[in-house]
Amino acid sequence: MDLDALKANLVKDFQEIVSQEELNQLKVKYLGKKGQITELSKNIKNLPSKERPIFGKGIGELRSLCEDLLDSFQEKIELKIINESLEKDRIDVTLPGTFKSQGKLHPLTITTKRITDFFSSKGYLIEDGPEIESDYYNFDALNIPKDHPARDMHDTFYLDNGNLLRTHTSPVQIRSIEKRGAPLKIICPGKVYRSDADKTHTPMFHQIEGLVIDENVNFGHLKNEIMTFIDFFFGPDTKVRFRPSYFPFTEPSAEVDIMDKKSKNWLEIMGCGLVHPNVIDMAGLESKKFSGFAFGMGIERMAKLSYEIEDMRSLFSNDIKFLSQ
Amino acid sequence: MKVLYSNITKAIKAKPKIENLCEDLTLIGIEVDEIKSFQGDKIIDFDLTPNRGDCFSVKGLARDYCAFKDKKFSSVTKKSFKGQTKFNKKIKLFAKDACPAYSAVSISNLKLIKKFPNYIKKTLKAAGIQSIHPLVDIVNFVMLESGQPMHVFDQDKIEGDIEVRFAKTKEQIKILGEKNLKLSKDCLVIADEKEPIAFAGISGSLNHSVSKKTQNFLIESAFFRPSIVKGKARRYGFQTDASQRFERGVDFNLHEDALKEALAIIQEIYQVDISNVETIKNKHFPKKKVINISTDDVNLKLGTELKENTIKSILNRLEIKLIKKNKNFLTFEVPSHRFDLSIKEDLIEEVARIVGYDNLPQIKNDPITQHYEKSDYDFINEVKTFMINKGFNEVINYSFLDRQILKNLDIENESISIKNPLNNSLNTLRTSLLPSLATNLEFNINRGQNFLSIFEMGKSFSNDTHTEELNLAGLIYDDEKFKNWNTNQNYDFYYLKGILENLFAEFRIEKIFWKKSQNDLLHPYASADIYIKNKLVGSLGSINPRFIKSLGLNKAFLYFEIKVESLPRNDLGKLIAPSIYPISQRDFSFEIDNKVSYEQIENCIHISSKNFLVGTKIFDVYDGKNIPDGKKKYCI
């Protein structure tokens, strides 16, 4: 048999194979010890030396062709075997996945985090203080002396150990000034307590309060901080108004309202003001040198506005159907 | 404070729409709580801030409104008055500073000559003040209009002269409303020769009050210093229209004019004999305050560029008069009705109020340089996020609960009580988060849940060395009959322990030891205490079955509580390059005595294999067939 005839047989043989066995047989038939290509190559020694290189080259090419065909058919057959076995692995993709329970953060935690994320990105340190406070930190140091009518606004829970449950997060301001001095930029989230319970009040609730102390801090700075925050929290088209109010620890004091987009009513969202010089002095700084602003808001109210919660008390009922939303 | 719309429009001599009026008042800091219809008129309920005593009247509101709108306002209609008879009691001001001015007048032979005016009745009713006696109604009406509280006594019940003094030891007074008050020595009283006839600035005594039978009347109108009245009524658990006004401050130049106004109304309605108005004033009578301020002071605080003249004219509209000027500052005199103005900042707020807060500039903030620290808040949030990823829903409970619940669990020792709880079910601060979470469980079971996995991060309180400690607690309850088709999770001690091991690993907390628990809340044989190094940080396990019933449950739950403060905050630190050699594994089976713990075996392995050991894993625990009694087989 000559080279060309062998090549034609080879190509023809490969066209007919369908299984791994046939492929293996072809490998033996052509490339085995007694395979046809092997056998033919032995003829080289009978040829004149001139023709040997051409014949040798031809044999080499034939051998490569056979190897390439073997490889490519090997791949095809393997693929065919896989494809045939896949059918047996058929599953119902609409069955639910293996159950892995995933919890949810409480809406108040999420709301707090949204607020603290904003302020910490602006360089505020996050501070906390004790929930059991003394009269001094909760009231006196905040310019609310005994018998001050403003104490009426705080329905305070008093404890049998002579202390009280803080009625606002403002004591943290004082503790932070005492600890860190000025300049200072802090945000303090936390639980506070007032003796009040109805649809819009719970005896325990959460506040978040910010304080900035530096030289030459003015009302314009406060307005800017609040406006940027509202823009972030409620969206850029929110209508805002500042109106005068009264807190013993700030002067001037303001209340901030936003307009409810649906009802067009003004909703009170926070109190703020320039820190009262008495507070700065009492905390151990000089009010001649330092000024500052403070602002505070109820986290429940912010959550209520974010999630359109009707009844504040549902935030503390801990109904899993509510929490796992 | 409830005020009739028509009374305000009368006082401001204009008729703005009620919405506009309320909007304007809100913008100057006088908050409107509610508007209600009333007898063809409207009642506006104002929520006054405690600093603005001067707005505690129709005229006060009108004055502030007119200042804002830059309209003329005449605050006092001075009535001249001459008495027909002579006031025949002596007034002695013993508490000279507390009450530096006192006026009184005697009235007798009252005869109605005209129908009692309806506008007085309507005004009182709108304000929620009960009609008592025509004369009392008139002085109350004048109080609502002007802000000056006055009191009417039955003069025949007053024995001898009148003195204003502090209460004597053990002195008592029975006030209107039948309350008997034991007065302390810092309580100011009006007294006759025998006893107190009024708790000054707060309430008259019941025994000296007027009735239908009263023939001769004495009306008092005085100035009481706010600091003397402040908090006194509240101390005895009540408030009156008078105390609310006096403790905020009533215009010290008003008491005589207001009295004369009341007398003028009385004379309009009655034929009556009235004495001269007896007024005693001493040298402690307040003087108008002065405040020095510069244009720079205002502009530096507000970020504005207001001119001196603007500031002057704004303050002038508020009756804050410039009285002196030098090159450094302006000196302003505060009117007698503004008790809240005493420092520069107070005047700056007045300027801001009239300019309008919304008209003040917004100024970009300068950055502040301060040392940055990772706050504990971040750590707490990371732990919370870890917990939700382990399938726990976050709950938040009140810090207080019913003491009885703590008692039922034997954990009421050292608990802190609330002296004035909202109700008894909230009378004690929790000493553990367990009762709160158990209550959540009961609540949710009652709503049809049969699986619950919750956690809380909150404080527990006690009277011992740590008054408050932040705890992390979690609860797992599983009573599910129908689980998801291919899930077969066993919620047991080891499941919960696995979560805590993951938690410690996540936060790089090492040297953890698990010991049989001493916590009485938990099952004595299926719970563990957790130690870091040798410090107890918490415990976990199944609830002690003896508490299941008292917690309102039928089935046990798994629980853990750990002290967040005791967890070390370990940063990632240096990362170590792992060995380049592949790990090789060996497995061993040990048949051992039942009392030998896994920890003991693991320790032996660690000691014997020193530096080569990467880790150990127990893959089978067997104590069934072919294992002798009292033995078990661990495959490691």
Helix (H, G, I), strand (E, B), or coil: what is residue A212? Answer: strand
pLDDT > 70: percent of chain B: 99
Helix (H, G, I), strand (E, B), or coil: what is residue A243? Answer: strand
- Look at residue B550 and tell me if it is in a domain: yes
Segment B300-317 shows an average pLDDT of 95
Is it the case that residue A66 has pLDDT exceeding 80?
Answer: yes
Domain membership of residue B115 as a residue range: 91-281
B104 & B244 share domain = yes
The residue type of A13 is D
- Chain A residue with CA closest to B28: the answer is A244
Question: Cα–Cα distance between A40 and A10 in angstroms, integer?
Answer: 13
Helix (H, G, I), strand (E, B), or coil: what is residue B31? Answer: strand
Among candidate residues B281, B303, B338, the one where a domain is terminated: B281
B300 & B324 share domain = yes
Chain A with chain B: Cβ pairs closer than 8 A:
245
Q: Between B29, B363, B458, which is nearest A244 by CB? A: B29
The residue type of B20 is N
Q: Does B374 touch chain A (CB under 8 A)?
A: no
- Which pair of structure tokens corresponds to residue B13? 């001599």
Helix axes B134-146, B58-69, angle to 10 degrees: 20
Where residue B93 falls among pLDDT bands split at 50, 70, 90? very high
Is it the case that residue B223 has pLDDT exceeding 90?
Answer: yes
Segment A234-238 shows an average pLDDT of 91
Where residue A40 falls among pLDDT bands split at 50, 70, 90? confident
Helix (H, G, I), strand (E, B), or coil: what is residue A216? Answer: coil
- Look at residue B574 and tell me if it is in a domain: no
- Look at residue B365 and tell me if it is in a domain: no
CA angle B592, B598, B603 (to 5 degrees): 105
First to last CA, chain A: 81
Is it the case that residue B494 has pLDDT exceeding 80?
Answer: yes
* Cis bond before residue B578 (omega within 30° of 0): no
Q: Where are any strands of DSSP class E within A56-203?
A: 125-126, 132-133, 164-165, 184-193
Question: Cα–Cα distance between B455 and A323 in angstroms, integer?
Answer: 12
User: A172's torsion region: left (phi>0), alpha (psi -120 to 50) or beta?
Assistant: alpha
Q: Are B110 and B272 in contact (CB under 8 A)?
A: yes
The B residues from 209 to 268 touching A (CB cutoff 8 Å) are 227, 230-232, 234, 247-248
Is it the case that residue B635 has pLDDT exceeding 90?
Answer: no
Q: Does B399 touch chain A (CB under 8 A)?
A: yes
Q: DSSP letter at B250?
A: -
**pLDDT score, position B19:** 94
Segment B85-100 shows an average pLDDT of 93
Q: Does A201 touch chain B (CB under 8 A)?
A: no
Is it the case that residue A169 has pLDDT exceeding 70?
Answer: yes
The residue type of B328 is N
The pLDDT tens digits of the residues spanning B198-210 come to 999 999 999 999 9
Best probe of the A interface among B314, B362, B431, by most A CBs < 10 A, is B362
Segment B301-329 shows an average pLDDT of 94
CATH number at residue B227: 3.50.40.10
Q: Between A193, A220, A244, which is nearest B363 by CB? A: A220
Nearest chain B CA: its distance from A86 CA (Å): 22
Neighbours of B179 (CB within 10 A): 13
**pLDDT score, position A212:** 96
Q: Residue B404: phi, psi to the nearest 5?
A: -60, -35
CA angle B123, B128, B129 (to 5 degrees): 80
- Which pair of structure tokens corresponds to residue B171? 């002195």
Cβ contact (<8 Å) for B301 and A191?
A: no
B298 & B275 share domain = no
The pLDDT tens digits of the residues spanning B530-582 come to 999 999 999 999 999 999 988 888 899 999 999 999 999 888 778 888 888 88
Best probe of the A interface among B24, B294, B301, by most A CBs < 10 A, is B301
Number of structural domains (chain B) is: 5
Cβ contact (<8 Å) for A244 and B400?
A: no
Cβ contact (<8 Å) for B302 and A197?
A: no
Residue A188 class from Cβ within 10 Å (0-12 exposed, 13-18 middle, 19+ buried)?
buried
The pLDDT tens digits of the residues spanning B142-173 come to 999 999 999 999 999 999 999 999 999 999 99
- Which pair of structure tokens corresponds to residue B295? 């244009």
Q: Are B469 and B459 in contact (CB under 8 A)?
A: yes
Q: Using an 8 Å CB-CB cutoff, list chain B residues near A131.
A: 399, 459, 461, 468
**pLDDT score, position A51:** 83
CATH number at residue B556: 3.30.930.10
**pLDDT score, position A152:** 66
Is it the case that residue B224 has pLDDT exceeding 80?
Answer: yes
Q: Using an 8 Å CB-CB cutoff, list chain A residues near B363.
A: 218, 220-221, 223-224
B215 & B125 share domain = yes
- Look at residue B336 and tell me if it is in a domain: yes
Nearest chain B CA: its distance from A216 CA (Å): 7
CATH number at residue B11: 3.30.56.10
Q: Between A152, A185, A323, which is nearest B393 by CB? A: A323
B305 & B262 share domain = no
The pLDDT tens digits of the residues spanning B586-617 come to 888 888 888 888 888 888 888 888 777 888 88
A107-323 has CATH 1.10.240.10 classification: no
Q: Are B295 and B306 in contact (CB under 8 A)?
A: yes
Matching residue, tokens 């070390």? B568
The pLDDT tens digits of the residues spanning B452-468 come to 999 999 999 998 877 89
What burial letters (b/e) apply to A95-108, b meaning 16+ CB within 10 Å? eeeeeebebebbbb
Q: Does A37 touch chain B (CB under 8 A)?
A: no
Where residue B76 falls among pLDDT bands split at 50, 70, 90? low
Cα dihedral across residues A229, A232, A234, A240: positive or negative: positive
Highest mean pLDDT among A148-157, B6-15, B78-87, B231-240: B6-15
**pLDDT score, position A130:** 95
Q: Where are any strands of DSSP class E within B329-373?
A: 330-333
Nearest alpha carbon to residue B526 among B548, B541, B545, B547: B541
Cβ contact (<8 Å) for A252 and B353?
A: yes
Cβ contact (<8 Å) for A320 and B454?
A: yes
Cα dihedral across residues B323, B324, B325, B329: positive or negative: negative
Helix (H, G, I), strand (E, B), or coil: what is residue A85? Answer: helix
Segment B494-507 shows an average pLDDT of 95
Please give the C-alpha separations between residue A205 and each of A107, A157, A168, B394, B440, in angstroms, as whole numbers. Answer: 13, 13, 9, 16, 18
Where residue B375 falls among pLDDT bands split at 50, 70, 90? confident
Q: Using an 8 Å CB-CB cutoff, list chain A residues near B392.
A: 103
Please give, one letter per residue, the 3-state secondary structure of B451-488.
Answer: EEEEEEEEEEECCCCCCEEEEEEEEEEECCCCCCCCCC
The pLDDT tens digits of the residues spanning A86-112 come to 888 888 889 888 888 889 999 999 999
Segment B428-445 shows an average pLDDT of 94
Is it the case that residue B629 has pLDDT exceeding 80?
Answer: yes
Q: Between A102, A214, A218, which is nearest B368 by CB? A: A214
**pLDDT score, position A262:** 85
Give me the residues paired with residue B499 across strands. Answer: none
Nearest chain A CA: its distance from B294 CA (Å): 14
Please give, one letter per residue, the 3-state secondary structure of B157-197.
Answer: HCCCCEEEEECCCCCEEEECCCEEEECCCCCEEEECCCCEE
The mean predicted confidence, pLDDT, of chain B is: 92
Q: Does B306 touch chain A (CB under 8 A)?
A: no
**pLDDT score, position B178:** 72
pLDDT > 90: percent of chain A: 52
Segment B171-182 shows an average pLDDT of 87
Distance of CA B294 to the CA centre of its chain: 36
The B residues from 29 to 88 touching A (CB cutoff 8 Å) are 29, 31, 49-52
Nearest chain B CA: its distance from A185 CA (Å): 7
Neighbours of A136 (CB within 10 A): 12
Neighbours of B332 (CB within 10 A): 27
Is it the case that residue B331 has pLDDT exceeding 90?
Answer: yes
Segment B338-353 shows an average pLDDT of 95
Question: Cα–Cα distance between B337 and B147 in angstroms, integer?
Answer: 10
Q: Does A99 touch chain B (CB under 8 A)?
A: yes
Q: Does A116 touch chain B (CB under 8 A)?
A: yes
Q: Are A128 and A172 in contact (CB under 8 A)?
A: yes
The residue type of B395 is V
Q: Are B155 and B67 in contact (CB under 8 A)?
A: no
Cβ contact (<8 Å) for A157 and B420?
A: yes
Neighbours of A88 (CB within 10 A): 6
B595 & B530 share domain = no
- Which pair of structure tokens corresponds to residue B236? 């005895």
Please give the C-alpha separations between residue A145 and each of A129, A136, A249, in angstroms, as whole numbers. Answer: 21, 9, 11
- Which pair of structure tokens corresponds to residue A149? 């009518």
- Look at residue B556 and tell me if it is in a domain: yes
Segment B9-35 shows an average pLDDT of 93
What burial letters (b/e) apply to B145-168, b meaning 16+ CB within 10 Å? bbbbbbbbbbbebbeeebbbbbbe
Please give the C-alpha separations between residue B94 and each of B192, B226, B231, B614, B630, in angstroms, as whole numbers. Answer: 13, 17, 22, 89, 93
Among candidate residues B281, B307, B342, the one where a domain is terminated: B281
Q: Are B428 and B456 in contact (CB under 8 A)?
A: no
The HSE-up count of residue B55 (CA atoms within 13 Å, CB side) is: 24
Q: Are B609 and B593 in contact (CB under 8 A)?
A: no
> H-helix or E-strand containing B153?
strand B151-154
Give me the residues paired with residue A204 across strands. Answer: A193
Nearest alpha carbon to residue B222 among B184, B251, B194: B251
Question: Cα–Cα distance between B76 and B148 in angstroms, integer?
Answer: 12
ipTM score of the complex? 0.87
Q: DSSP letter at A201?
A: B
Please give the C-alpha separations between residue B517 and each of B42, B513, B572, in angstroms, as whole numbers. Answer: 68, 11, 31
Among candidate residues B281, B310, B334, the one where a domain is terminated: B281
Please give, one letter per residue, the 3-state secondary structure of B480-534.
Answer: CCCCCCCCCCCCCHHHHHHHHHHHHHHCCCCCEEEEECCCCCEEEEEEEEEEECC
Is it the case that residue A275 has pLDDT exceeding 70?
Answer: yes
B19 & B165 share domain = no
Matching residue, tokens 């009341």? B262
The A residues from 208 to 237 touching B (CB cutoff 8 Å) are 212, 214, 216, 218-221, 223-225, 227
| pTM attached to this predicted model | 0.86
Is it the case that residue B373 has pLDDT exceeding 80?
Answer: no
